[in-house]
Amino acid sequence: MSAGAWAPHLGEMDTALAAHDASAAVRAWRRAYAAALASPGWLGLVDVAAASLRIGRIPGFARASEARARETYWTALFRARQDGSLNGVLEAAEAFGMIGDRSMVEQCIRIAESLAALNADGRAVETVRELASRLAERFLTAEPAG
Protein backbone atom coordinates (compact mmCIF):
# COMPACT_ATOMS: atom_id res chain seq x y z
CA MET A 1 0.00 0.00 0.00
CA SER A 2 1.31 3.42 -0.86
CA ALA A 3 1.16 6.51 1.32
CA GLY A 4 -1.38 8.68 -0.48
CA ALA A 5 -4.35 10.51 1.00
CA TRP A 6 -6.33 7.25 0.93
CA ALA A 7 -3.84 5.30 3.08
CA PRO A 8 -5.01 6.47 6.53
CA HIS A 9 -8.58 5.52 5.65
CA LEU A 10 -7.43 2.06 4.57
CA GLY A 11 -5.63 1.73 7.89
CA GLU A 12 -8.91 2.58 9.65
CA MET A 13 -10.68 0.05 7.46
CA ASP A 14 -8.23 -2.70 8.37
CA THR A 15 -8.57 -1.84 12.07
CA ALA A 16 -12.35 -2.06 11.75
CA LEU A 17 -12.06 -5.39 9.93
CA ALA A 18 -9.86 -6.75 12.71
CA ALA A 19 -12.52 -5.64 15.21
CA HIS A 20 -15.24 -7.31 13.07
CA ASP A 21 -16.96 -3.94 12.61
CA ALA A 22 -18.27 -4.22 9.06
CA SER A 23 -20.09 -0.88 8.97
CA ALA A 24 -17.02 1.05 10.16
CA ALA A 25 -14.89 -0.82 7.62
CA VAL A 26 -17.23 0.11 4.78
CA ARG A 27 -17.35 3.76 5.89
CA ALA A 28 -13.55 3.93 6.01
CA TRP A 29 -13.33 2.26 2.59
CA ARG A 30 -15.70 4.86 1.13
CA ARG A 31 -13.50 7.66 2.49
CA ALA A 32 -10.43 5.95 1.00
CA TYR A 33 -12.20 5.61 -2.34
CA ALA A 34 -13.13 9.30 -2.35
CA ALA A 35 -9.54 10.26 -1.51
CA ALA A 36 -8.15 8.02 -4.27
CA LEU A 37 -10.59 9.45 -6.81
CA ALA A 38 -9.58 12.97 -5.82
CA SER A 39 -5.89 12.12 -6.19
CA PRO A 40 -4.16 12.07 -9.57
CA GLY A 41 -3.02 8.81 -11.08
CA TRP A 42 -3.99 5.19 -10.77
CA LEU A 43 -2.04 3.90 -7.78
CA GLY A 44 -4.53 4.88 -5.08
CA LEU A 45 -7.35 3.26 -6.98
CA VAL A 46 -5.45 -0.03 -7.15
CA ASP A 47 -4.86 0.10 -3.39
CA VAL A 48 -8.51 0.90 -2.70
CA ALA A 49 -9.77 -1.84 -5.03
CA ALA A 50 -7.60 -4.41 -3.26
CA ALA A 51 -9.00 -3.15 0.04
CA SER A 52 -12.53 -3.73 -1.23
CA LEU A 53 -11.64 -7.38 -1.71
CA ARG A 54 -10.56 -7.54 1.95
CA ILE A 55 -14.04 -6.33 2.94
CA GLY A 56 -15.37 -9.15 0.79
CA ARG A 57 -14.09 -11.67 3.33
CA ILE A 58 -16.92 -10.59 5.64
CA PRO A 59 -19.83 -13.04 5.25
CA GLY A 60 -22.44 -11.53 2.95
CA PHE A 61 -20.13 -8.88 1.49
CA ALA A 62 -18.26 -10.87 -1.17
CA ARG A 63 -20.39 -10.08 -4.22
CA ALA A 64 -20.72 -6.32 -3.59
CA SER A 65 -17.06 -6.01 -2.65
CA GLU A 66 -15.90 -7.76 -5.80
CA ALA A 67 -18.16 -5.54 -7.91
CA ARG A 68 -16.70 -2.43 -6.25
CA ALA A 69 -13.18 -3.75 -6.74
CA ARG A 70 -13.83 -4.49 -10.42
CA GLU A 71 -15.23 -1.00 -11.00
CA THR A 72 -12.32 0.59 -9.13
CA TYR A 73 -9.74 -1.46 -11.05
CA TRP A 74 -11.44 -0.35 -14.27
CA THR A 75 -11.09 3.30 -13.22
CA ALA A 76 -7.43 2.66 -12.37
CA LEU A 77 -6.91 1.12 -15.82
CA PHE A 78 -8.54 4.10 -17.49
CA ARG A 79 -6.29 6.52 -15.59
CA ALA A 80 -3.18 4.45 -16.26
CA ARG A 81 -3.98 4.44 -19.97
CA GLN A 82 -4.55 8.21 -19.92
CA ASP A 83 -1.24 8.67 -18.09
CA GLY A 84 0.56 6.40 -20.54
CA SER A 85 1.63 4.20 -17.61
CA LEU A 86 2.60 0.71 -18.67
CA ASN A 87 3.09 -0.21 -15.02
CA GLY A 88 -0.43 0.91 -14.20
CA VAL A 89 -1.98 -1.00 -17.08
CA LEU A 90 -0.06 -4.14 -16.16
CA GLU A 91 -1.01 -3.77 -12.46
CA ALA A 92 -4.64 -3.58 -13.57
CA ALA A 93 -4.18 -6.68 -15.74
CA GLU A 94 -2.79 -8.58 -12.77
CA ALA A 95 -5.66 -7.41 -10.57
CA PHE A 96 -8.31 -8.37 -13.11
CA GLY A 97 -6.67 -11.76 -13.42
CA MET A 98 -6.79 -12.28 -9.68
CA ILE A 99 -10.56 -11.71 -9.68
CA GLY A 100 -11.04 -13.98 -12.68
CA ASP A 101 -11.93 -11.38 -15.32
CA ARG A 102 -10.26 -12.85 -18.40
CA SER A 103 -11.72 -10.37 -20.88
CA MET A 104 -10.29 -7.45 -18.92
CA VAL A 105 -6.89 -9.16 -18.74
CA GLU A 106 -6.99 -9.42 -22.54
CA GLN A 107 -8.03 -5.79 -22.87
CA CYS A 108 -5.23 -4.67 -20.53
CA ILE A 109 -2.70 -6.62 -22.57
CA ARG A 110 -3.89 -4.92 -25.77
CA ILE A 111 -3.68 -1.50 -24.10
CA ALA A 112 -0.19 -2.23 -22.80
CA GLU A 113 0.96 -3.32 -26.25
CA SER A 114 -0.46 -0.13 -27.76
CA LEU A 115 1.22 2.07 -25.15
CA ALA A 116 4.56 0.37 -25.70
CA ALA A 117 4.24 0.78 -29.47
CA LEU A 118 3.28 4.46 -29.11
CA ASN A 119 6.41 5.05 -27.08
CA ALA A 120 8.42 3.53 -29.95
CA ASP A 121 10.60 1.85 -27.38
CA GLY A 122 11.68 -1.58 -28.57
CA ARG A 123 12.72 -2.55 -25.06
CA ALA A 124 9.27 -1.61 -23.68
CA VAL A 125 7.56 -3.56 -26.45
CA GLU A 126 9.62 -6.64 -25.61
CA THR A 127 8.99 -6.21 -21.87
CA VAL A 128 5.25 -5.92 -22.46
CA ARG A 129 5.34 -8.97 -24.72
CA GLU A 130 7.07 -11.00 -21.99
CA LEU A 131 4.72 -9.78 -19.26
CA ALA A 132 1.69 -10.33 -21.48
CA SER A 133 2.84 -13.88 -22.10
CA ARG A 134 3.13 -14.52 -18.37
CA LEU A 135 -0.28 -12.94 -17.69
CA ALA A 136 -1.86 -14.99 -20.46
CA GLU A 137 -0.29 -18.15 -19.10
CA ARG A 138 -1.52 -17.44 -15.56
CA PHE A 139 -4.97 -16.08 -16.26
CA LEU A 140 -6.06 -16.88 -19.80
CA THR A 141 -5.05 -20.52 -20.20
CA ALA A 142 -6.17 -21.70 -16.76
CA GLU A 143 -9.58 -23.29 -16.46
CA PRO A 144 -12.17 -20.92 -15.00
CA ALA A 145 -13.12 -21.57 -11.39
CA GLY A 146 -16.58 -22.93 -10.79
Residue 2 per-residue DSSP state: -
Residues 6+ apart with CB under 8 A from 141: none
118-139 core/surface letters (b: 16 or more CB in 10 A; e: else): eeeeeebbeebeebbeebbeeb
Residue 146: the pLDDT is 47
Task: Check if the beta carbon of residue 86 is closer than 8 Å to that of residue 116.
Answer: yes
User: How big is the chain by its Cα radius of gyration, in Å?
Assistant: 16
One digit per residue, the tens of pLDDT, for the chain of length 146 reads 568 999 999 999 999 999 999 999 999 999 999 999 999 999 999 999 999 999 999 999 999 999 999 999 999 999 999 999 989 999 999 999 999 998 999 899 999 989 888 876 677 778 888 887 887 788 777 555 54
Residue 119: the pLDDT is 74
Average pLDDT, the chain: 91
List C-alpha distances in Å: 117 to 72, 108, 129.
26, 14, 11
Task: Check if the beta carbon of residue 41 is closer than 8 Å to that of residue 49.
Answer: no
Residue 143: the pLDDT is 59
Residue 5: the pLDDT is 97
Per-residue pLDDT tens over the stretch 97-119:
999 998 999 899 999 989 888 87
Residue 9: the pLDDT is 98
